[in-house]
Amino acid sequence: MNEPDQEPGPPVTTSSTATSTPVASVGTPSRFGSLGPVGLVLAGGISVQFGAAVAVTLMPRAGALGVVTLRLFAAAVVLLVVCRPRLRGHSRTDWGTVLAFGVAMGGMNGLFYEAAARIPLGAAVTLEVLGPLALSVLASRRAINLVWAGLALGGVFLLGGGGFSDLDSIGVAFALGAGAMWAIYIVFSARTGRRFPQADGLALAMAVAALLFLPLGIAEAGSRLVNPTTLALGSAVALLSSVLPYTLELLALRLLPASTFAVLMSLEPAIAATAGFLILGQSLSTTQAAAIALVIAASIGAVRTQVGRGKVREPIPEA
């Protein structure tokens, strides 16, 4: 989860399968708090990636764009009801920021789901995480980050078998595009968090993203979007990939240093690969598993480098 007031840095958000600003201030229920902060983060990551796996099973019913529409629309409704954001009193710059945030959020989700429809989930998340990783390396400007960049590129080379002959090239392009949008998302998430109280900006941006994808979802899925089973599965995806992770990560960040949180989030590709295997039957070769491990190592290394420079700041507790 990207904290609203932290500088753009390492991949500290969940994947494009999830946004990362807190839903709202909530207490720490004992049934969640008993997991411990690390357990909360891991539970949130598992929820996101298993939600993405459920979304892949829904794609034959509604298509990738239809699934994105259902997820964004359901999440927007929940956030608007919970946050009840104030619409008045914001400047044009405020609205421009939240609009850009919503476009980045929608683009990130749409491109990722198009990728997940074509290539294994673990591979899609691994390629997607290169966006935040590149942002981290560029923001740091330290020579050591060339090592992390090299590890990540080595992982990508292994993942593609030296030329992506084993992966759908269009799916790879969509995943890389999702990574670029994720990097933009991180930047505008931080800006939105500074301009809007609590999670008001997130709720408004989610509504923008939902409205942006509504015509695309209707064009692809049509009346299938209102099929009761499709609606139920789409709501489950929104719950697993948006609402539940936001709550768990918010609770965790009250107890966990941001640097530790960022390292844990770097495990997303491995969680995605596990979800893909258990739900979708997507197995990984030894080479692909090694590729994911290299990208995870690069992400963790970039996080640790940022921590050494003080770029990853501690979360500011909410009132």
Locate the domains of the chain by residue range: 30-308
Q: How confident is the model at residue 141 (pLDDT cuts 50, 70, 90)?
A: low
Q: Answer yes or no: is pLDDT of 318 > 70.
A: no
Q: Give the residue, 189 or 105, on which the prediction is more confident.
A: 105
pLDDT digits (tens, 9 = 90+) for 177-229: 999 998 888 788 878 888 888 778 888 999 999 999 999 999 998 888 888 98
The mean pLDDT of 256-271, rounded to a whole number, is: 69
At 246 the pLDDT is 72
**Residue whose tokens read 């979007």:** 225
pTM above 0.95, yes or no: no
At 25 the pLDDT is 41
At 250 the pLDDT is 63
pLDDT digits (tens, 9 = 90+) for 156-185: 777 665 555 677 889 989 999 999 998 888
Q: Answer yes or no: is pLDDT of 118 > 50.
A: yes
Q: How confident is the model at residue 115 (pLDDT cuts 50, 70, 90)?
A: very high
- Residue 135 is encoded by which pair of tokens? 């942002």
**Residue whose tokens read 């918010």:** 250
Going from the C-alpha of 156 to that of each of 24, 130, 186, the distances in angstroms are 37, 9, 22
Q: Give the residue, 208 or 128, on which the prediction is more confident.
A: 208
Phi, psi (5° rounding) for residue 315? -65, 145
Give the least confident one: 19-28, 237-246, 297-306.
Answer: 19-28
Q: Answer yes or no: is pLDDT of 314 > 60.
A: no
Instruction: Tell me if 166 sits within 8 A of 160, measured CB to CB.
Output: yes
Q: How confident is the model at residue 40 (pLDDT cuts 50, 70, 90)?
A: confident
Q: Which of 234, 116, 130, 128 is nearest to 167 (CA)?
A: 116
Q: Which of 222, 219, 13, 3 is nearest to 105 (CA)?
A: 13
Q: Answer yes or no: is pLDDT of 319 > 50.
A: no
At 42 the pLDDT is 82
Alpha-carbon distance of 121 to 280, in angstroms, equals 9
Instruction: Tell me if 304 sits within 8 A of 266, measured CB to CB.
Output: no
209 by DSSP, 3-state: which? helix
Q: What angle do CA 186, 191, 196 make, to 5 degrees?
A: 120
% of residues, the chain, pLDDT over 90: 19
At 77 the pLDDT is 92
Q: Give the residue, 230 or 3, on which the prediction is more confident.
A: 230
% of residues, the chain, pLDDT over 70: 73
Q: Answer yes or no: is pLDDT of 258 > 60.
A: no
Q: Answer yes or no: is pLDDT of 312 > 80.
A: no
Q: How confident is the model at residue 8 (pLDDT cuts 50, 70, 90)?
A: very low
Average pLDDT, the chain: 77
- Residue 108 is encoded by which pair of tokens? 């990130």
